[in-house]
Structure 1
Amino acid sequence: MSAFTLSEPSPDLPLATIVGGADVPLDTLDPSQVGEHLRRYGALLVRGFATEVASFERFARTLCPISVFNESPDRETLSAETTVQTVNLGTDPFPLHPELSREPWRPDACLFACFAAPSSDGETTVCDGVGIVERLPAALVEQMKGRRLLYIQAAPPELLQHWLGTLTPDDTLLASPPASCPYWFRRVRGGIIRGFSRPLLHRPLFDDRICFGNFVLFARDYLHRPNFPCLDDGQPVPETWLGAIREAAATLTYAHRWQPGDVLVLDNSRFMHGRRAISDPRGRRIASYFGYLPFAPAQPEEGKDPFWRSRSFTPPTRERMRA
Structure 2
Amino acid sequence: MAMTALDTLAKPSTPVLVEGDGRSLNDVDVDRVRAEIEKHGAVLLRGFETDVDSFAALGSNLCTSASYNESPNRELLHKDGAVQTVNLGSDPFPLHPELSREPWRPDLAMFGCIEPPEVGGQTNICDGIAIARNLPPDVRAQLEKGTLFYIRAASPDVLEFWLGTREPSDELLANPPASCPYWFRRREDRVLRGFTRPALEPTLFQNEGAFVNFILFARDYLRSTRFPLMDGKPIPDEMLDQIRSVARSQTYSHRWQQNDVVLLDNSRFMHGRKAIANPDGRRIATYFGYLKGVTRLGVEIADPIWRRETFIPPDRPDDS
TM-score normalised by the shorter chain: which range applies?
over 0.9
The aligned residue for residue 281 of structure 1 is 279
Residues of 2 paired with 1:77 and 1:106: CA distance? Answer: 20
Give the equivalent residue in structure 2 for 1:77: 76
Is the 1:205–1:297 Cα contact (8 Å) retained in structure 2? no
CA gap 1:183/1:12 in 2 versus in 1, 3 angstroms: closer
Counterpart in 1 of 2:54? 55
Assess if the C-alpha contact under 8 Å between 2:121 and 2:274 holds in 1. Answer: yes
Letter of the aligned partner of 1:39 in structure 2? Answer: E
- How far the C-alpha of 1:240 sits from its partner, in A, is 1.5
Do the aligned partners of 2:118 and 2:278 also contact (CA within 8 Å) in 1? no
Aligned-partner SS, 2:296: coil
Aligned letter for 2:197?
R
Q: Is the 8 A contact 1:158 1:317 kept in 2?
A: yes
Aligned residue for 1:141? Answer: 140
Among 304, 309, 313, the residue aligned to 1:306: 304
- CA distance in 2 between partners of 1:281 and 1:268 (Å): 25
The 1:84–1:268 alpha-carbon spacing in structure 2 relative to 1, beyond 3 Å, is same
User: How far is 1:295 from its partner?
Assistant: 2.8
Query: Which residue of the other structure, out of 271, 277, 280, is the alignment partner of 2:269?
Result: 271
Offset, 1:105 = 0.3
1:17-36 alignment runs, 5 A limit: 17-22=17-22, 24-36=23-35
Corresponding position: 1:14 with 2:14: yes
Give the aligned partner of residue 197 of structure 2: 198
> Residue 4 of structure 1 aligns with which residue?
none
Q: Which runs of 5+ in 1 are unaligned?
A: 1-9
| AA at the equivalent of 1:18 | V
Match of 1:316 among 300, 308, 314: 314
Aligned residues of 2:296 and 2:304 also touching (Cα < 8 A):
no
User: What CA distance in whole angstroms lies between the structure 1 residues aligned with 2:185 and 2:226?
Assistant: 18
Letter in 2 for 1:203: P
Aligned to 1:162: 161
Paired residue secondary structure (2:247): helix
TM-score by length of 2: 0.95
What is the CA-CA distance between 1:209 and the residue it aligns to? 2.2
Asked if 2 retains the 8 angstrom alpha-carbon contact of 1:112 and 1:264, the reply is yes
Question: Is the CA contact 1:152–1:195 (under 8 Å) kept in the aligned structure 2?
Answer: yes
Deviation at 1:238, TM superposition (A): 1.3
SS at match of 1:111: strand
Partners of 2:189 and 2:11 lie apart in 1 by: 55
Q: CA deviation at 1:229?
A: 0.3
Cα distance in 2 for partners of 1:51, 1:138 equals 44
Q: How does 1:68-107 map to 2 (within 5 A)?
A: 68-107=67-106
Between the aligned partners of 2:160 and 2:111, the Cα distance in structure 1 is: 33
1:73-104 per-residue CA deviation (whole Å, 9 max, x = no partner) reads 00000111000000000010000000000000
Q: Over residues 35-82 of structure 1, what are the superposed CA-to-partner deviations in whole Å (9 max), with x where a residue is unaligned?
A: 001111100011100100001000111011311100000000011100
User: In structure 2, do the counterparts of structure 1 residues 281 and 114 end up closer, same or farther at CA, with 3 Å as the change threshold?
Assistant: same
Q: Report the count of equivalent residues.
A: 311
> For the structure 1 residues 13 and 214, does the alpha-carbon distance in structure 2 shift closer, same or farther, using more than 3 Å as the test?
closer
Contact in 1 for aligned 2:64/2:307 (Cα 8 Å):
no
Opposite residue 162 of structure 1, the aligned amino acid is F
Give the 5 Å matches for 1:239-278.
239-278=237-276
From the superposition, tell whether residues 11 and 193 of structure 1 become closer, same or farther in structure 2 (CA, over 3 Å): closer
SS in 2 for 1:145: helix
| Gap runs ≥5 in structure 2 | 1-9
Aligned to 1:123: 122
Aligned-residue RMSD, C-alpha: 1.4
Residue identity in the other structure for 1:288: T
**Secondary structure at 1:119 match in 2:** coil
Alignment partners' CA distance in 1, 2:55 and 2:195? 33
Q: Secondary structure at the match of 1:301?
A: coil
Deviation at 1:296, TM superposition (A): 3.2
How many Å apart are 1:13 and its aligned residue?
8.0
Q: Is the 8 A contact 1:112 1:287 kept in 2?
A: yes
Q: Deviations over 1:240-274 (max 9, x none)?
A: 11111100011110111100000000000000000
- Once the two structures are TM-superposed, the CA of residue 12 in structure 1 deviates from its matched residue by 9.4
Equivalent-residue separation in structure 1 for 2:96 and 2:11 (angstroms) = 23
Shift in alpha-carbon separation, 1:108–1:203, aligned structure 2, 3 A: same
